[in-house]
Structure 1
Amino acid sequence: MTVSQHPIALRGLSFTGPDCPLAEVDFDIGLNLLFGASNTGKSFMVKVLDFMLGSSRPLPEISERDGYDRAWLALTLPSQGDVTLMRSLAGGAFELHSGHVSAVERGKNVRTLSARHDRSNDDNLSQLLLNELGFGSKSIAVDANGKQRSLSFRDIVRFCLVDETIIQSETSPVEAGQYTTVTAERSVFKLMLTGVDDSAVVPMVNKTVFRTQTNAKLEILDEMIANIDENLTADYPDANGLADQYEKLTGTFTAAQEEAQLSQDHIRAQLDRKRDAASKLAGIQQRLTEVAMNLVRFAQLDEVYSSDVQRLETVEEAGFLLLLGSDKDCPLCGAAPDAQSHDHGLTDIEEIRAASAVEIEKIVRHRASLMETVNALTLERETLRSDLATQSTELDKADEEIRRLSPEAREKQQLLAELTSVRDHVKHGLDLLSQKQALVDRRAEMANVKPASNSDKPRLGVSSTVAHDFAQTVSDVLREWQFPGKRHVTFDEVTYDLRIDGKHRRDNGKGVRAVTHAAFKVALLIFCRERGLPHPGFLVLDTPLLTYRDPIRSKEGPLAADEQELRNTSLRDFFFEHLASLSFAEFIIVENIDPPLGIEELGHTQVFTSDPNSGRFGLFPSRAGG
């Protein structure tokens, strides 16, 4: 068992609701003291802590909580660190927020946890906390015959959270007072004292129950065997020959399966052939379209080249003609060449004519290159048309082959289906025979089982040695508190309670019972700590110092003689000093008495005054005048 060295720490409890002021109380590691008058919310806070640790009991409908709909419990866990639990005050599941989130803000990393214990997964609060403490998936006995169930965190809570009713009860601090739960509660106590659960215990059944259960099981087996015989008679007249028939069918089925697979492979090959041809056809058609478009564009370009050549040839011819008559008399006016006047000189005309000739030569070269490209595209087009015909033929051949192969493939598949049906029918018959044989063997085995004797009954509960050691730890605690008397403590294995100086703990007044109950739970925490055993690491005690009550104002009435004797001692002071010295644990003490002077030096102290004009009113803010 892996035990956490840093148990669970309660860090704060808060309440929120629409249009309601935030109500919160915080806790520290070590000693936490919460004093106050009656009806200020102290005991309600204890009930909410129990509620936030998985209790399914509805919370009291006190008027102070009106308008509040959520409770938030900040925790520090051994492995997950700081987390916050949120739960509706109406009950139901929890939200687990990463970190100590503000009660008015939702955390980003939120996980839903069921309030119902289930050790098969971690999506519930109980198993999550058990895993954090190192309890894992433990089992506890729930009756004297060793019947078991899984450990729940709710089994542990009673040892770390004690309300004002339980703390003064005459019942053992181990038990809740219900006869049906005694064995389970004692098993949990043993687990906490030893770290050993009851998973190794083999449950036994008494003779009467055993015979009843066995006869009922035999009747069920007989009925099941009769049903199988009825099915075999109706559907398998030759049941003895089913094994040989199945062996022959297996060989035939394997051959038919191979032939069907071969036919499917042939069709698949033709489908691949068809797919390949179709893909190539699409590519050829696309390329033919591109070639056709290019030939049209190139024809248009050739026309442009032809037009340009004609224009340039005209310019060149005109220039040539002009140059031929440039040194003769004007045919119109008879003027001599040197008497004629022109806007452009002969040199310019010659340059234009020469440039036109050069441009014509360039266009001719481009045109020749264009013709080569056109010829190449024309040749490619013919090749593509040929390939198109080839692939179309390939596609048609693939289609034809698929049409030819399909009927044969269907026939083989149909034969395979028929063989499968027959084979499954025969196999079902063999399964029925196998089931029948198993049931017959099981019946024979069950008929020979004998009930366990009383000597086989498991010995449950805490051993005398461990109980003695625990009692000495309680004695040490009482000594630290200066409890009156010799403080000789023994553990009564019948009542699972303490005898103090020879007197049963339950035979004392309620104030003394409260103190000794508190000593029991404090001693358990110390006992587990000293031995490295799992314990939540915190203890909530509601009104452990009941004996220091005001006998006139208190609802608990006048003090008994033993209570008065205890009240006359300084136990209260030693009680607080001792708890403050146990720095490895967290104690939350709720009391109605006035806080002792200087108590703030020992621990985190909070006082509920019930006076809206003085200090903190109570757990919830005062709504006086609201």
Structure 2
Amino acid sequence: MSRLRLLHITLWGPNVPLSTVEFGPGLTLVRGPSDTGKSFMVEAIDFMLGGKSLKEIPERTGYSTVLLGVELPTGETVTLTRGVAGGALTLHRSDVRSGPFSVPGETLSAKHNSKSDANLSMFLLKQLDLDNSLIRKNAQGATVSLSFRDLVHLCIIGETKMQSEVPPAITGQYTTKTKEISAFKLLLEAEDDSSVVATQGAREGVRTTGAKIEVIDQLLRDVEAKLVETPDEGELRDQLARLNASLADHTSAVEGLLTERSGLVKQLRRSQEAVQEARTELSEVGALQGRFGLLSDQYDSDLNRLATIREAGVLLGFFTPGKCQFCGAELADQQYNHAHGVDGTVFEESIDAEIAKTRALRADLALTMEELVRRGGHARASGREAVAQVEALGVRLRVLDDELSPGNSQLRELIGVKSDLERSLALYSQAAELTQLKAALIDSTQTDATVVSAGLNLTALREFSAELAKRLSAWGYPDAASVRYDRAEQDILADDQYRSAHGKGVRAVLHAAFTVGLAQYCLDRDIAHPGFVVLDSPLVTYRPPGRNSPVQLDQSLPVGIVADFYRDIQASFDGQVIVMENLDPTEPLGPNAVDVVFTKEIGVGRYGFLPPKGSARAAKMED
């Protein structure tokens, strides 16, 4: 079976002690108090498997390179190295444990590219025979190539994700939810989405939605830039209420003018909104015209190509007398087609039919583009009219401001402040409307994930739910037999409520069971899986420093779960599992397990993954 095995994670620097932790083929437990670098180790592993960045902590000072040892399915040992600042990785075809690195290696980009082998994602996917896999990204059936990062979040679980209310199979990002469910489906069913046929116009629909969101995002950025130094909306409304009370004391003589001014301000706001709506409409029309123009060019190209093919086919029939080039009939058996007046062939008829179909599509597109031109013209006319109204209303407002008690500077000042407050509140209203519009577009993308979820194979889900229940039962989880995976919510249903509704301790245990259960499900069925899982704090959330410090086990978890958990993953899990935990095991680990203990006490055992701040350089100099 194709699977990977992690050998070690190492940090190296020219003037600091080498910091490394080796991993066993089965269970590796890294335990100790909080803030000893356990979560940093998880982040470092994720970083070496294509993560964007590595957290900068004080203890990291002086370390320049991260090394990750990996055993490939062929048994070959390789080492990946990467600078702590990020960027490309280097692949060494040997077991490298420290620098400096005299032997040059192969450079691998950290960014996935299915058209090149010179990137980490494709290198690792080839080891798992997944390099040609496609996964679905929307309801219309559009697909993208599988990236190794699409699998990482299913086998490397950080502490935050472990306790998060977000379902285990997804990350919580709406833009990638459909892809993530598709990747989960790939592991469950051992079948990618290469057979899915995209519906006509799917790509244009996705691009149109994306273009609309881009336009709204730009408008939102413009509005938010104007609100950077503006008080929040509630405070503005309070200020406006107090200001109105003050104005009431000064407006007895100018009440009529103020009423007119208030009406003008409302008209001005409506006109400004009309200008903004016209600009938004023009932006959308422009984006659509650009895309439809490309489609029209494609239709023209198709028609030219079809005409060329038809002409070539007719000429071929004219210049090659004898046996028919299309049906194989001998010359004596060929008959003149009087209905057409000329010799015709099925080939010509099919070409003519395709030309007619393409012309019809182009005609429909032309109508659509004409409608876009009409919309654009209407938007421009509306925009010009609204701009003219804004300018005229602005002039009238300035005249009114001059007429309102010219000698009363305090009143003019209050009115000016009120105008500023109203403009700021109008910006907040505009931002709220744009946000609501964007949310509506985003909600439309959620149907994509729903379609993919509905396509999950029920038999596979039942078998996976059985594996999940079996794992939880071995850990002593109450009523584990009723636990199942719900495809509609993409969440675990336990105790008649979804995982997201439980406390964080139970959420962590259920997520651990999902991750380990999914890996074992794949291993049992010879389905491609990275072969390893990394779990950060599946059982307990905090432990203060000190060898005798008490631990805080979630009270909602069953008594004995710690012993049952370690006993099960050693005896019944066939892959590699690396656990970062604050809690010490209640029973001795098996002889094949690797037990790494951090103390967070200087001079007592190993302090942590990295030496404490200030001691690393001194220790190196003493060596």
Same topology, TM > 0.5: yes
Distance 1:202 1:491 in 2: 28
2:499 to 505, 514, 520: 505
Checking the alignment, whether the CA contact within 8 Å between 1:98 and 1:109 is kept in structure 2 is no
2:610 to 599, 620, 624: 620
Distance 1:458 1:503 in 2: 23
Report the AA paired with residue 174 of structure 2: Y
Report the AA paired with residue 591 of structure 1: E
Alignment of 1:411-422 (within 5 A): none
| Structure 1 partner of 2:517 | 523
| Structure 1 partner of 2:117 | 122
2:127 to 123, 127, 132: 132
| Structure 1 partner of 2:459 | 465
1:581 to 549, 567, 571: 571
Q: What's the offset of the Cα at 1:539?
A: 0.4
Q: What's the offset of the Cα at 1:108?
A: 3.5
Q: What's the offset of the Cα at 1:132?
A: 0.2
| Structure 2 partner of 1:566 | 557
Cα displacement string for residues 571-596 of structure 1 (whole angstroms, at most 9, x for unaligned residues): 11010011111463111000112343
Residues 1:86 and 2:86 aligned together: no
Q: 1:102 to 1:206 in 2, by over 3 A?
A: closer
| Structure 2 partner of 1:536 | 530
Checking the alignment, whether the CA contact within 8 Å between 2:204 and 2:291 is kept in structure 1 is no
Q: What's the offset of the Cα at 1:444?
A: 4.3
| Structure 2 partner of 1:74 | 69
Residues 1:489 and 2:479 aligned together: no
2:471 to 477, 481, 485: 477
Distance 1:207 1:609 in 2: 55
Distance 1:146 1:110 in 2: 39
Cα displacement string for residues 79-105 of structure 1 (whole angstroms, at most 9, x for unaligned residues): 371000000000000100011123125
1:176 to 171, 189, 192: 171
Taking only the aligned residue pairs, the percentage that are identical comes to: 38
Q: Which has the larger radius of gyration?
A: 1
Distance 2:179 2:298 in 1: 37
Q: What's the offset of the Cα at 1:537?
A: 0.6
Checking the alignment, whether the CA contact within 8 Å between 2:189 and 2:457 is kept in structure 1 is no
Distance 2:298 2:205 in 1: 22
Distance 2:522 2:73 in 1: 16
Cα displacement string for residues 62-84 of structure 1 (whole angstroms, at most 9, x for unaligned residues): 00000111000010011371000
Q: What's the offset of the Cα at 1:624?
A: 5.0
> TM-score, normalised to structure 2's length?
0.59
| Structure 2 partner of 1:152 | 147
Q: 1:600 to 1:465 in 2, by over 3 A?
A: closer
Distance 1:150 1:499 in 2: 31
Q: What's the offset of the Cα at 1:220?
A: 5.2
Distance 1:536 1:220 in 2: 41
| SS of aligned partner of 1:487 | helix
Q: CA RMSD in A?
A: 4.0
Distance 2:528 2:90 in 1: 25
Q: What's the offset of the Cα at 1:620?
A: 1.2
1:605 to 591, 595, 604: 595
Alignment of 1:338-377 (within 5 A): none
| Structure 1 partner of 2:94 | 99
Distance 1:623 1:99 in 2: 32
Cα displacement string for residues 543-570 of structure 1 (whole angstroms, at most 9, x for unaligned residues): 00027868xx9xxx987xxx41425x11
> TM-score, normalised to structure 1's length?
0.59
Runs (5+) with no aligned partner, structure 2: 209-284, 302-311, 313-353, 369-446, 619-623
Report the AA paired with residue 557 of structure 2: L
| Structure 1 partner of 2:586 | 596
Distance 2:488 2:299 in 1: 49
Q: What's the offset of the Cα at 1:501?
A: 3.5
Checking the alignment, whether the CA contact within 8 Å between 1:218 and 1:446 is kept in structure 2 is no
Q: How many pairs does the alignment contain?
A: 409
Runs (5+) with no aligned partner, structure 1: 228-242, 244-437
Distance 2:4 2:92 in 1: 16
| SS of aligned partner of 1:101 | coil
Q: 1:69 to 1:168 in 2, by over 3 A?
A: same
Q: 1:446 to 1:512 in 2, by over 3 A?
A: same
1:13 to 4, 9, 16: 9
| SS of aligned partner of 2:138 | coil
Distance 2:542 2:588 in 1: 17
